[in-house]
């Protein structure tokens, strides 16, 4: 079995994917346990000195001025139960697993002061495949407090969990997995829930998906260039060096690789429509935006973002704003806009391919002509998908409401920014499937088209899944079949 090792640093997007989707086991290096013990000792010592510590001996939010003088462990349980206010459809299991892994990774950094046995219980539940049923609505991006409460409740044996395909009471799920509920020490409950792990985990999965679709979009774009007989001068590396915009050289280089070795046919026009001629700068900007989102995710994934934060070397405990994920939200808003821009270009290329006939291609890509609809009805589906993408591209980072008596008067809406970006990626992949279908049909109908080895492989993958259009037939099922292959790892081009 694949293993991902937590060291308090160096965790990656790929680690999140391996655990969330691949079922990789999670372990921690011995130094993590030592770091947790040290932080716990500092926390206990500072608390014993009488210093006010948020969420340990004080209330939360607007209750900040309320002292907690009773059993501090019991207060942590109360704190978790009282913040279990998330509602709505449960998050998918892969997002829940991603969130559990992210919280374990950030706890391993050592700034939370969490009890080592609680950290171990989280890792054990993750490895055993016991996942909380985590409602999706409740976070405004000032940590994912209410949503994360489901994970904390699981560890104390409360709420519901999924285990081996069944939805069970949490205590029963733990028991079946050979695990037991944990007792929370002071601050343990807050350490579990005051984190942006859902946003970060979901974001990591979105980054991985965006990168995959980026390469699929490159393949579709290159096949379109072959099918339409595009002028490839715009990919000349000298032009990319003349204007080295974000990612442009990389995107152009990738397209050149896909097109290398193609037949010597002359381009059919001096300048192609902008969706084709400007493919490298459009795709390059997208690749850069994916990289920025990755940086934002991996910063959070390896950060001590707790409030309050235990500073072991200084022997101090300080209140922070490190849980506030403004940079992460903005990175995903930017990624969403970049996806929308690339998707709009893909849609435009589809219309160019399937319209009244460009560069010698038959009308609607129909080999029979006449009253045949060919591919043109699919322009409506493309328009619908692009409209949905553009709608999701609208920013949400400013859509917050001051809460908790004005104490929490700013928010980032990071989980919503990430979720809508993930939805855009799925729609964008559907557009890529449509472009691949049309480009493959254009290649089949073109005269003297001699594909490059790279685009020939892409064309062969399309034809492995769907046959050429000879007469009108329902094409929606073909598009779904191609989308499923692009989404599931069956696409081997």
Tens-place pLDDT, residues 352-409: 999 887 778 899 999 988 888 999 999 999 999 999 999 999 999 988 888 877 777 8
- Cα gap 37→114, rounded to integer Å: 9
Residue range 23-43: average pLDDT?
A: 96
- 246-257 pLDDT, tens digit each: 999 999 999 999
Among residues of the chain, what percentage have pLDDT more than 90? 77
Residue range 339-355: average pLDDT?
A: 96
pLDDT for the residue 54: 77
H/E segment holding residue 161: strand 160-163
Residue range 118-136: average pLDDT?
A: 98
Delineate the domains of the chain, giving CATH numbers in brackets.
Answer: 3-195 (1.10.275.10), 209-488 (1.20.200.10)
pLDDT for the residue 411: 86
Flag whether pLDDT at 343 surpasses 80: yes
- Cα gap 97→412, rounded to integer Å: 23
389/61: higher pLDDT: 389
Q: What angle do CA 274, 337, 86 make, to 5 degrees?
A: 155
* Stated pTM of the model: 0.96
- 300-318 pLDDT, tens digit each: 999 999 989 999 999 999 9
- 228-283 pLDDT, tens digit each: 999 999 999 999 999 999 999 999 999 999 999 876 666 777 788 999 999 999 99
Structure tokens at 226: 């072959």
pLDDT for the residue 110: 94
Residue range 440-445: average pLDDT?
A: 95
67 beta partners:
58
Residue with tokens 């390896």, as numbered in its chain: 302
Per-residue pLDDT band for 227 (boundaries 50, 70, 90) equals very high
pLDDT for the residue 264: 60
492/281: higher pLDDT: 281
Per-residue pLDDT band for 328 (boundaries 50, 70, 90) equals very high
Question: Which residue, among 420, 229, 248, 460, has the nearest Cα to 329 in the 3D structure?
Answer: 420
pLDDT for the residue 142: 87
The DSSP result for 245-305, as a single string, is: -TTHHHHHHHHHHHHTT---PPPS-SS--HHHHTHHHHHHHHHHHHHHHHHHHHHHHT---
Question: Which residue, among 241, 456, 464, 470, has the nearest Cα to 369 in the 3D structure?
Answer: 470
Residue range 179-194: average pLDDT?
A: 93
Return the axis-axis angle of helices 414-445 and 453-465, rounded to nearest 10°.
Answer: 100
- Cα gap 60→69, rounded to integer Å: 14
pLDDT for the residue 267: 74
pLDDT for the residue 250: 96
Residue range 464-478: average pLDDT?
A: 95
- pLDDT mean across residues, the chain: 93
- Cα gap 86→92, rounded to integer Å: 15
- Cα gap 141→295, rounded to integer Å: 18
């Amino acid at each position: 079995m694949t293993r991902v090792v937590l060291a308090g640093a160096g965790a990656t997007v790929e680690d999140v994917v391996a655990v969330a989707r691949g079922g990789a086991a999670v372990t921690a290096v011995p130094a993590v346990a030592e770091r947790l013990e040290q932080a716990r000792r500092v926390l206990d010592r500072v608390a014993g000195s009488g210093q006010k510590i948020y969420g340990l001996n004080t209330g939360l939010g607007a209750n900040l001025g309320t002292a907690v003088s009773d059993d501090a462990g019991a207060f942590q349980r109360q704190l978790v139960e009282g913040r279990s206010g998330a509602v709505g459809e449960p998050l998918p299991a892969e997002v829940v697993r991603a969130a559990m892994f992210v919280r374990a990774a950030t706890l391993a950094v050592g700034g939370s002061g969490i009890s080592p046995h609680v950290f171990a219980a989280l890792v054990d539940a993750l490895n055993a495949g016991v996942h909380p049923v985590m409602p999706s609505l409740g976070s405004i991006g000032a940590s994912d407090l209410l949503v994360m409460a489901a994970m904390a409740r699981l560890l104390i044996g409360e709420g519901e969990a999924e285990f081996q395909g069944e939805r069970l009471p949490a205590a029963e799920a733990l028991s079946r997995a050979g695990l037991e509920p944990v007792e929370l020490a002071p601050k343990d409950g807050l350490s579990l829930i005051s984190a942006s792990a859902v946003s970060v985990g979901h974001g990591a999965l979105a980054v991985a998906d965006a990168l995959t679709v980026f390469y699929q979009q490159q393949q579709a774009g290159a096949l379109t260039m072959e099918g339409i007989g595009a002028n490839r001068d715009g990919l000349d590396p000298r032009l990319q060096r003349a204007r080295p915009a974000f990612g442009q050289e990389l995107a152009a280089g990738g397209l050149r690789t896909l097109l290398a070795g193609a037949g010597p046919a002359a381009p059919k026009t001096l300048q192609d429509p902008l969706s084709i001629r400007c493919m490298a700068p459009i795709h390059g900007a997208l690749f850069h935006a994916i990289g920025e989102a990755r940086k934002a995710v991996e910063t959070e994934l390896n950060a001590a973002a707790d409030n309050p934060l235990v500073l072991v070397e200084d022997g101090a405990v300080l209140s922070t704003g490190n849980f506030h994920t403004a940079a992460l939200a903005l990175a995903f808003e930017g990624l969403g806009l970049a996806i929308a821009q690339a998707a709009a270009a893909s849609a435009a290329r589809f219309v160019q391919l399937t319209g009244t006939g460009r560069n010698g291609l038959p009308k609607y890509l129909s080999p029979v002509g006449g009253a045949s609809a060919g591919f043109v009805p699919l322009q409506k589906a493309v328009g619908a998908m692009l409209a949905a993408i553009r709608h999701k591209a609208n920013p949400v980072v400013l859509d917050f409401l001051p809460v908790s008596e004005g104490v929490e008067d700013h928010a980032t809406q990071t989980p919503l920014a990430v979720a809508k970006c993930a939805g855009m990626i799925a729609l964008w992949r559907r557009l890529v499937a449509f472009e691949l279908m049309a480009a493959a049909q254009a290649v089949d109908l073109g005269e003297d088209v001699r594909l490059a080895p790279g685009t020939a492989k892409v064309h062969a993958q399309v034809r492995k899944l769907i046959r050429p259009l000879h007469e009108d037939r329902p094409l929606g099922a073909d598009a779904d079949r191609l989308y499923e292959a692009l989404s599931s790892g069956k696409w081997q081009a």
